[in-house]
Chain A
Amino acid sequence: MIDAAVWFVSWVAILGGSVFIVAGGVGMVRFPDLYTRLHAASMTDTGGAILLSFGLFLQAVFVFGNALAAIKVALILFFTLFTAPTASHALAKTALLCGQVPLGVDGKPILDSPEEATQLARSRSVDYRSGQDAVEILEETRRHKRARSQEQGDNGDHG
């Protein structure tokens, strides 16, 4: 009874993890933009790793009877859950800092220039948790930029 249940659950988990992983690979090849590719790859990385590790954990405990292997699989899952989202976040933030402009739904860039992307990534005024609208942040960035360029123009006139 319990053998059949373990077999069924781990089979479903490993198969589901495989489907997630292949979908992530296809998304990484087919999506049009760096950020959409990042989304596909990182979501399926985490989901596939969770499902696959869960299936392997069940197999290690109930089929192989190997407690050490089960603990190691759990540790792999633990570290993956910390490192994979962190790496994805660092990748997205660095891409924005280096001026990679995201594309909108219509396939056009949503920012005017790479410099705006850099400023958006650097702005410390962004409060991620308050749900502040991205458009609002962008307007603020442009206002700052205009004010700064006016200041510089004034300095140039006086100097």
Chain B
Amino acid sequence: MFAVATIALLITMVLALGRALAGPTLFDRLLAVNSFGTKTVLLIAVYGFLTGRPDFLDIALVYTLINFIGTVAVLKFFEVDDLGSGIYQEDDY
């Protein structure tokens, strides 16, 4: 049962990687990379159970948070061209 989940996750990671390489816009790539990160978290968790020693769950836990922070940081960088600016955005009206 864990083997099935592992194979499904690996297939999806390959598909996400294909979208990340082919994606016409930046946001497609970012979406694929974010999805890849989520699948990596699940893969680490499932692989621990597959080998019978679920010891890698801490790494999965850390990876969840790093994945989120990384995605939001890249998004903010591309939205305002800056990561430390105090001016967020100006309303047009």
Residues of A within 8 A of B (CB): 10-11, 14-15, 17-19, 21-22, 24-26, 28-29, 34, 37-38, 41, 45, 48-49, 52-53, 55-56, 59-60, 64, 66, 69, 72-73, 75-76, 79-80, 83-84, 86-88, 90-91, 94-95, 97-98, 100, 119, 122-124, 144, 148
Contact = CB atoms under 8 A, between A and B. Distances in A.
B15 A26 contact: yes
B31 A41 contact: yes
Interface in B16-47: 16, 18-19, 25, 27-28, 30-32, 34-35, 38-39, 41-42, 45-46
A60 B79 contact: no
A91 B71 contact: yes
Interface in B40-93: 41-42, 45-46, 48-49, 52, 54, 57-58, 60-61, 64-65, 67-68, 71-72, 75, 78-79, 89, 91-93
Interface residues of B, number: 50
A15 B1 contact: yes
Main secondary structure of the interface of B (DSSP, over half): helix
Main secondary structure of the interface of A (DSSP, over half): helix
A25 B16 CA distance: 6
Given A73-B57, A94-B27, A122-B92, A21 B12 contact: yes
A48 B43 CA distance: 12
A139 B65 CA distance: 40
A106 to B, nearest CB: 20
A52 B75 contact: no
B79 to A, nearest CB: 5
A87 B11 contact: no
A100 B28 CA distance: 11
21 contacts: A14-B2, A14-B5, A18-B5, A18-B7, A18-B8, A21-B8, A34-B27, A37-B19, A49-B38, A52-B42, A53-B42, A72-B58, A73-B45, A75-B61, A80-B41, A84-B38, A86-B68, A87-B34, A94-B75, A95-B27, A122-B89
